[in-house]
Chain A
Amino acid sequence: MKARTRAAATLLTPFFLLFTAVMVVPIGYAVWLSLFTEKQSGLGFGGAETVFNGLDNYTAALGDRAFLEGFGVLLGYCLLYIPLLLAGALALALLLDSALARARRFFQLALFLPHAVPGIIAALIWVYLYTPQLSPVVRAMEAGGVGFDFFSPEGSLPSVVNIALWEWLGYNMVIFYAALQAIDRSVLEAATVDGAGSWRTAFAIKLPLIRASLGMVALFTVIGSLQLFTEPLILNKGTGSAVTSTWTPNMYAYTAAFDRNDYGLAAAASVLLALAAALLSFAVTRLTDRKGKRA
C-alpha cells in the first residue's frame, strides 16, 4: 500500500510543483504587489521607493473612468456575443444532427477550421477585411449601397464580436453536436412515434438533454470573454479606430504596467479581473446547476 502512495506522490509532484509556481504564487504575488506603490523619493534623485499603501490601488482602479468603462465594454460584449454564440452554435449543431443533413463530416471540419487559426491571425485577417482600402467585403457592401464603418465607435463592438464568433462558433458547435449524438436514439424515436415534429423534438427533447454541455460552454465563454485582449489590441493598432488602449480591463492592466509602469495599479486591476471571473463562474455554475436539478 505504501508503494502505491509513494507512486501517486511521485506522479503528482511535477504537476503540483509547476501549478504552485505558475498559478498559486503569481496570484499571491499579484495580491501582494497590489498593496504597494512606487513613490519618487525627495526630488526624484534617489530613484523610486516602494511604499505600502493599502487598498489605494484598488480605489484608484475603481475610481478610474477608463477602467470602469472597460467593464462596460465587456458587459456590452457579453450581451451581444454570448447569446449569438450559444444560439448560433446550437442552431448549427441541431441542423447537423437533423436527419436531413448531408456530408456531416465535411460540415463539421469546415465549420471547425477557423478555430485552428491563431487568435492574433484571425484578428489580422478580419481587420484587413474591415479596412476599406484592402477589403473586398467593404467594397461589395458599398456597391450594394451599405456603408458601415467597422472602426467607428458604434462599429467596434460588432467588429470584435464578429471575430470572436468566427473563432469560436465551430468549436462550440462540435461540443453541442457531440452531446446531441450521445442522446439515446430510442428517446428520439419515441418522440417521433408520439407525433412530435422535428422542431418540437429539437426544443422539447434534445435541448433539455444537453443542458450540461450548454452550462459548460457558457461558463468557459464567460471566463474567456473577461480576458478579451488580442482582438481589440489589433483593432486598436488600426488607424482611425475607436478602440482605445484601455478598451477592456485586460488592456487597461497591460497599459498600466507597460505604458505607465504602475505595477501596483496593474496588479490591482488583474486581481479585480480575476475576482470578477470567479464571481461570474460561480454565478454561471449555480444557474446551470439549479436548472439541471429542476429538470
Chain B
Amino acid sequence: MSTPRPVNVWLSKAAVNGALVLAVVYMLFPLVWLLTAATKDAGGLLAGNAFSFEGFDLGGNLRRLAGHNDGIYFHWYLNSLLYAGLGALACSLISVAAGYAFDKYDFRGKEKLFGVVLLGVLVPTTALALPMYLLASEVGIVNTYGAVLLPVLVNPFGVYLARVFSAGYVPDEALEAARIDGAGELRTFWSIGLRMVMPGFVTVFLFQFTAIWNNFFLPLVMLSDQKLFPLSLGLYAWNSNAHAEPDHYPLVVTGSLLAVVPLVVAFVSLQRHWKAGLTAGSVK
C-alpha cells in the first residue's frame, strides 16, 4: 500500500470536510433564517438582517398566530395531525398486509399483480389529483375530510417496501411453527407476522406521515372550507394575502416554523428507520 505524505493527507482531509461543511451551510442557512425570522415583527422582518434580533417579538408572533381568525392556525395543525396520523396508520397497515401477502403466499398471477403495484409507483400523483377531484365531486365528497384521507391510504411504494421488509424480517419457520400450533392464517399474520415486520411498518408509517404532512396539491384541489385545511394549504392561503397585508408575513413565517418542527423531530429521532426505508428502495 502506498503511503501518501502526511501534509497531503492533511490537505485532502481539510478539502473533503471543508466541502461537506459548505454543503451543510447551504442546507441549514434557510432553516436558520426561518428560525430568526420567526422571532421578528413585520418591521424587523422587512429590515432583512438575518442574524440580528432587531424587532424581536417571538411572543407577540405566537400570540398573533394563536389569535388570528379565531385560532384557525391550530385548527389546521390538528387537521394535519389527523390527516397525517390517521392516514399514515391506515396506509401502513394496508400496505404491510399486502406486502406480507405478496411475500409469504403463492397464488396464480402473483408476480403479474405485483407488477401492477410497481406500475402504480410510476403514476405521477399530481396528474391523478385533478381526475380524482372531478370523480369526488361526482360522488359528492369534495370538501370533506374523506376527500383528503381516502387517496392517501394507497401507497404502492409502501407495498413494495413492506414486501422487502417481510422477506427480511419474518422467517418462514416462525409461520410454520404457528401453523403447527394450529393458529389460523390471519391470526398468524396479526400476532406474529405484523409484530416481526414492525420495523418495516414504522418505516412505511414515517414516509407516509411525511408525505401527507407535506401534501399540498390534493388538499388544494379538494378543499375550499378553511376549517378543513391542513397546515400546508392554510399557510399558502395566508401567503397569498401577504402582499396586500404585510402583517401576514410574520404569521406565515412563524406558522411555517411550527409546521416544520414535528417533522424535523421525527427525522432526527427516527434516523434508523428513514435510512432503512431509503436503503431498502435502492440497494439490491
Q: How close is A163's CB to chain B, nearest CB, in angstroms?
A: 10
Produce 1/0 per residue, B22-59, CB < 8 A to A: 01101110110110010000000110111100000000
CB of A109 within 8 Å of the partner chain = yes
Near A by CB (< 8 A), chain B positions 101-157 give 101-102, 105, 107, 113, 117, 120, 122-128, 130-135, 150-151, 153-154, 156
Interchain CB contact under 8 A, B268 and A109: yes
Please report the number of residue pairs spanning A and B whose Cβ atoms sit closer than 8 angstroms: 262
Partner of A15, one of B9, B13, B20, B95: B95
Known: A15-B159, A110-B27. A267 touches B33 (CB 8 A): no
Near A by CB (< 8 A), chain B positions 246-284 give 249, 252-253, 256, 259-260, 263-264, 266-268, 271, 274-275, 278-279, 281-284
Partner of B131, one of A29, A111, A133, A175: A29
Question: What residues of B have a CB within 8 angstroms of the CB of A271 in the complex?
Answer: 127
* B interface secondary structure, majority: helix
Interchain CB contact under 8 A, B27 and A111: yes
Question: What residues of A have a CB within 8 angstroms of the CB of B216 in the complex?
Answer: 118-120, 230
Known: A100-B9, A230-B216. A213 touches B260 (CB 8 A): no
Q: How close is B207's CB to chain A, nearest CB, in angstroms?
A: 11
Produce 1/0 per residue, B208-219, CB < 8 A to A: 001001101100
Question: What residues of B have a CB within 8 angstroms of the CB of A207 in the complex?
Answer: none
CB of A234 within 8 Å of the partner chain = yes
CB of B202 within 8 Å of the partner chain = no
Partner of B48, one of A114, A133, A229: A133
* A interface secondary structure, majority: helix
Interchain CB contact under 8 A, B134 and A267: yes
CB of A178 within 8 Å of the partner chain = yes
Interchain CB contact under 8 A, B185 and A6: yes
Partner of B186, one of A7, A12, A91, A113: A7
Near B by CB (< 8 A), chain A positions 201-237 give 212-213, 216-217, 219, 223, 226-227, 229-230, 234, 237
In the bound complex, CA of A269 to CA of B237 (Å): 26
CB of B203 within 8 Å of the partner chain = no
Question: What residues of A have a CB within 8 angstroms of the CB of B154 in the complex?
Answer: 15, 18-19, 22-23
Most buried by B among A23, A226, A229: A23
Question: What residues of B have a CB within 8 angstroms of the CB of A254 in the complex?
Answer: 130, 221
Known: A7-B101, A7-B189, A95-B19. A229 touches B217 (CB 8 A): yes
CB of B239 within 8 Å of the partner chain = yes
CB of A164 within 8 Å of the partner chain = no
Interchain CB contact under 8 A, B128 and A21: no
Question: What residues of B have a CB within 8 angstroms of the CB of A120 in the complex?
Answer: 214, 216, 232, 235-236
**Total chain A interface residues with beta-carbon distance under 8 A:** 99
In the bound complex, CA of A125 to CA of B283 (Å): 33
CB of B178 within 8 Å of the partner chain = no
Interchain CB contact under 8 A, B232 and A118: yes
Interchain CB contact under 8 A, A117 and B260: yes
Question: What residues of A have a CB within 8 angstroms of the CB of B132 in the complex?
Answer: 22, 26
A22-B132, A223-B124 given; name 15 further pairs at CB < 8 Å.
A3-B184, A5-B105, A12-B113, A19-B154, A113-B31, A114-B27, A115-B267, A117-B260, A118-B231, A133-B46, A169-B23, A195-B2, A219-B122, A229-B217, A270-B131
14 contacts between A and B (CB under 8 A): A14-B97, A18-B150, A22-B151, A100-B12, A113-B27, A116-B210, A118-B263, A125-B256, A134-B48, A166-B30, A171-B278, A178-B279, A193-B1, A273-B124
Q: Which residues of B contact A (CB under 8 A)?
A: 1-2, 9, 12-13, 16-17, 19-20, 23-24, 26-28, 30-31, 33-34, 37, 45-46, 48-51, 94-95, 97-98, 100-102, 105, 107, 113, 117, 120, 122-128, 130-135, 150-151, 153-154, 156, 159, 184-186, 189, 210, 213-214, 216-217, 221, 231-232, 235-236, 239-240, 243, 249, 252-253, 256, 259-260, 263-264, 266-268, 271, 274-275, 278-279, 281-284
